[in-house]
């Protein structure tokens, strides 16, 4: 075997004068490890690294479209191959599907949802006093409803053609959004009609009139004894005056008692 190996080496690895000198020295260098067939893992075999030609590393992912991703799956021998398409509901970016509503952050002074790829989603809250660290900032003063839910009142310093037939209550959140509720004094259910929240100066002579600015319409609760209007911005300022609210039925000219929102520094 040594003679055969030596013969192969003489034919492919070095000039004749080298082998003549090697023979005089009585030795033949053992440099046959690179001969074809001697190493079970030949050059170009990448199975030990888990990557095959045109393949991928198991655990990788990639975007193949704006809303489609693929994951690299392990195959026999340790190689990786791209798996089937996976639809991404929130789109695909940086090799992965984007998860909707993964973060809450501020943008343009308001509070928004952001997905896991940090694309802006739906508005959560309009921050009337600014936004920082994903949270709406509170005003420098507080505003209080009189009466405040669950208390109601039918008291008013005005009269209406259809009479005072409703009692009123209100609440205000930390972003100065007012929620108004009314219920009938006779406890009968409200019929469908044009019920409107109107705002006015609570200390002026004319209050709860049809020409006062409308703040909310289309309440929930028609068919029940109590109506609730969707929250609306009060637009109150710490240096501003108090505001009065009432509910009017434009069809019958009936009115509620008076709700006053006062400022406390």
**CATH code: domain of residue 245:** 2.60.40
Task: Please tell me whether residues 247 and 171 are part of one structural domain.
Answer: yes
Task: Please tell me whether residues 209 and 254 are part of one structural domain.
Answer: yes
- Give CA separation, 124 vs 103, 107, 110, in Å: 11, 11, 8
Domain-embedded: residue 184: yes
Task: Please tell me whether residues 146 and 161 are part of one structural domain.
Answer: yes
- Strand pairing class (164-172; 255-256): parallel
Task: Please tell me whether residues 191 and 214 are part of one structural domain.
Answer: yes
Task: Please tell me whether residues 239 and 151 are part of one structural domain.
Answer: yes
Task: Please tell me whether residues 6 and 78 are part of one structural domain.
Answer: no
Task: Please tell me whether residues 15 and 58 are part of one structural domain.
Answer: no
Task: Please tell me whether residues 162 and 63 are part of one structural domain.
Answer: no
- Give CA separation, 116 vs 89, 101, 112, 125, 179, in Å: 12, 7, 13, 20, 34
DSSP 6: H
Is 212 a residue whose pLDDT tops 80?
A: yes
DSSP 47: G
Is 26 a residue whose pLDDT tops 60?
A: no
Which structural domain range is residue 89 located in?
50-97
Domain-embedded: residue 41: no
Separation between Cα atoms, residue 134 and residue 110, nearest integer Å: 9
Higher pLDDT: 67 or 33? It is 67
Confidence of residue 36 (pLDDT cuts 50, 70, 90): very low
The burial of 39, by beta-carbon neighbours within 10 Å (0-12 exposed, 13-18 middle, 19 or more buried), is given as exposed
Task: Please tell me whether residues 130 and 146 are part of one structural domain.
Answer: no
Task: Please tell me whether residues 19 and 109 are part of one structural domain.
Answer: no
Domain-embedded: residue 111: yes
Domain-embedded: residue 109: yes
Task: Please tell me whether residues 91 and 203 are part of one structural domain.
Answer: no
Is 8 a residue whose pLDDT tops 70?
A: no
pLDDT at residue 221, rounded to an integer: 94
What phi, psi does 27 have (nearest 5°)? -145, 155
Confidence of residue 7 (pLDDT cuts 50, 70, 90): very low
Entry pTM: 0.54
Task: Please tell me whether residues 205 and 233 are part of one structural domain.
Answer: yes
Number of domains in the chain: 4
- Strand pairing class (92-93; 86-87): unpaired
What phi, psi does 76 have (nearest 5°)? -60, 140
pLDDT at residue 94, rounded to an integer: 85
Domain-embedded: residue 20: yes
Confidence of residue 232 (pLDDT cuts 50, 70, 90): very high
Quick one: CA dihedral 182, 188, 189, 193, positive or negative? Answer: negative
Is 184 a residue whose pLDDT tops 80?
A: yes
3-state DSSP assignment of residue 112: strand
């Amino acid at each position: 075997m040594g003679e055969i190996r030596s013969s192969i080496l003489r034919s492919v690895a070095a000039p004749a004068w080298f082998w003549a000198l090697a023979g005089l020295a009585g030795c033949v260098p053992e440099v046959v490890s690179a001969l074809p067939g001697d190493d079970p893992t030949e050059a170009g075999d990448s199975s030990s690294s888990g990557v095959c030609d045109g393949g991928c590393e198991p655990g990788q992912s990639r975007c193949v479209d704006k809303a489609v991703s693929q994951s690299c799956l392990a195959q026999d021998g340790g190689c990786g191959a791209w798996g089937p398409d996976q639809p991404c509901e929130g789109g695909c970016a940086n090799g992965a599907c984007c998860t909707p509503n993964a973060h809450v952050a501020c943008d343009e002074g308001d509070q928004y949802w952001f997905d896991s790829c940090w694309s802006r989603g739906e508005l959560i809250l309009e921050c009337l006093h600014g936004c920082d660290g994903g949270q709406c900032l509170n005003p420098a003063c507080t505003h209080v409803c009189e009466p405040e839910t669950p208390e109601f009142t039918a008291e008013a310093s005005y009269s209406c053609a259809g009479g005072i037939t409703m009692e009123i209550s209100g609440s205000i959140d930390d972003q100065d959004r007012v929620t108004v509720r009314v219920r009938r004094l006779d406890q009968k259910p409200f019929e469908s009609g044009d019920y409107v929240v109107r705002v006015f100066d609570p200390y002026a002579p004319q209050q709860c009139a049809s020409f006062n600015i409308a703040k909310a319409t289309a309440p929930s609760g028609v068919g029940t004894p109590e109506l609730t209007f969707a929250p609306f911005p009060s637009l109150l300022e710490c240096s501003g005056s108090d505001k009065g609210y009432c509910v009017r039925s434009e069809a019958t000219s009936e009115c509620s008692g008076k709700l006053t929102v006062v400022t406390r520094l």
